[in-house]
Structure 1
Amino acid sequence: MYTERPSRPAGAVVWTNTPSGPGGQGVLPDGCMDLLWSEGRLLVAGPDTQAYVTGGPPVTWTGIRFRPGVAPALLGVPAHELRDRRVELTDLWSAGRARRLSGLVEAAADPETGLEAAALTLAAQTEAYDPQLGLLVAALDAGRPVAAAADELGIGARRLHRRSLTAFGYGPKTLARILRFRRALALARSGVPRADTAARAGYADQAHLARDVKQLAGRTLGELLAGR
């Protein structure tokens, strides 16, 4: 069973997932990064370019999901180094620093509260989130072309690509593609017909939507809507 709620750090979401049966579960690309907690372990989930299938025994996981571009600044690690990976925090930080952050989670009443405390501590130790990154994400999520968004922000194509690799884990075109996929999935789940979903999300046609969903999710749109 999966549940989520808004977190105290602005724009973040705290979630808990307790698998109800055997087998791995697919985590769909969303442009975000998560700080994860399970059985005394603190990990970082990097940005995904395709569905990430979890493995191992069915245990409860708790996480805090940061909006695109935030986690790399908080953790001090470029996002592209974590792309499509799940990494122990002790592999990224010194043992002492990772242990102190884990201690905040362990000392809390529950893992959700502990992860919020850890995120707030990181935010207090980090410079403010770059507002240009937020504007870029908003423009791409609204369906603006990458070139148009870059011109509006006054950022050259090469500089934008470098900054995107650091902040998001991949270039702006990949981020735009993933955000378009999430828009389409939200529309389809709300009952919008597939042809209309394709047009409103920014696809050339319904076949383009179907190909993109299959490539990013590893499943068809019908399978996603059925919850498989």
Structure 2
Amino acid sequence: MDGTYEEWFSRHAEAVLWTRTAGRAPHRVLPDGCTDLIWLDGQLVVAGPDTRAHVPGSSPGARYVGLRFPPGRGPDVLGVPAHELRDLRIPLAALWPGGRVRQLAERVSDAADPAAALEAITTDRLRDSPPPDPLLAAVVAGLRAGETVSAVARTAGLGERQLHRRCLAAFGYGPKTLARVLRMNRGLALARAGTPYAEVAALAGYADQAHLAREVKALAGVPLGELVR
């Protein structure tokens, strides 16, 4: 069977709900700076921010339901710094009381719409958490636009070391790694839209097409052409 994937905006600001049914071919999850809460086989699992592609070892037909929080928002929901979750998939019960997590997992499992139920169980956490830090939002916006780390630090009114510490806690890694991840996703979106690779490299902020190819292979684990196909 072929796998399927769908996503749509959550009612939580900038978060995305998604569902995936695993197919025969491996599914490659690319780094994006985000943190996900995932329901799978009746369990709630947290996927931390990745520095490299992750290929789940799932059986064909396995169904995932997820809520993806934008860069910097996951720690507010989960209650731990993002760098403690970097490149990890761990049970939510490792972070929250086990009894509470079992109740939440049962609620999602029993729901007619598991995605809506997954969204609902985070509502109270978001309501009680502080609003998104505009400084962190400005950091993401600057790096996504291709600004240098030093320029982003100046705009934020922080030294580069201070910026690095803030980024570790919020995003799971420092601003240079976050910039690489955001740039790769920007380039991949352009390539998937049919933009020639040399033009992708220029528009996304790479030195040249060879630089684009090296960076995509380093972060995604496969060549750009394979991702586009």
Larger displacement relative to structure 2 (104-113 or 176-185) = 104-113
- Contact conserved, 1:45 with 1:85, CA < 8 A, in 2? yes
- Identical residues among aligned pairs (%): 56
CA distance in 2 between counterparts of 1:40 and 1:20 reads 19
Q: Does residue 114 in structure 1 map to residue 117 in structure 2?
A: yes
Gaps of 5+ in 2: none
- In the superposition, the TM-score normalised over structure 2's length comes to 0.94
Determine the structure 2 residue equivalent to 1:99.
Answer: 102
Larger mean Cα displacement after TM superposition, 157-166 or 205-214? 157-166
Q: Could you tell me how far 1:106 is from its partner in structure 2?
A: 3.6
Q: What's the secondary structure of 1:26's corresponding residue?
A: coil
Work out the CA distance in 1 between the residues paired with 2:20 and 2:41. Answer: 13
| 1:170 equivalenced with 2:203 (yes/no) | no
For 2:206 and 2:52, locate their aligned partners in 1 and report how far apart those are by CA, in whole Å. 18
2:10 pairs with 1:35: no
Kindly report structure 1 stretches of 4+ aligned residues shifted beyond 6 Å.
Answer: none
Partner in structure 1 of residue 187 of structure 2: 184
CA contact (8 A) 1:51 1:218 kept: yes
Which sits farther off after the overlay, 107-116 or 208-217?
107-116
SS at match of 2:187: helix
Match of 2:129 in 1: 126
For residue 16 of structure 1, give the secondary structure of its aligned residue in structure 2: strand
SS in 1 for 2:122: helix
Q: Deviations over 1:41-91 (max 9, x none)?
A: 001000000100100423100101111000111111111111111000011
Q: Matched residue of 1:170: which SS?
A: coil
Q: Deviations over 1:85-120 (max 9, x none)?
A: 100001112213323433542453211101110222
CA shift at 1:152, angstroms? 0.6
Quote the Cα distance in structure 2 between the aligned partners of 1:98 and 1:157: 38
For structure 1, the residue ranges without an aligned partner over 5 or more in a row are none
Which one-letter code corresponds to 1:149 in the other structure?
V
What is the TM-score of this pair, normalised by structure 1?
0.95
CA contact (8 A) 2:22 2:59 kept: no
Q: Distance in 1 between matches of 2:10 and 2:103?
A: 21
Could you tell me which amino acid in structure 2 is paired with residue 158 of structure 1?
Answer: R
Count residues with an aligned counterpart.
225
Mapped contact 2:213–2:223 kept (Cα < 8 A):
yes
Q: Distance in 2 between matches of 1:156 and 1:136?
A: 13
Residues 141-168 of structure 1 deviation map (CA, whole Å, 9 limit, x = unaligned): 0111111011011011111111111111
Aligned with residue 6 of structure 2, among 3, 6, 9? 3
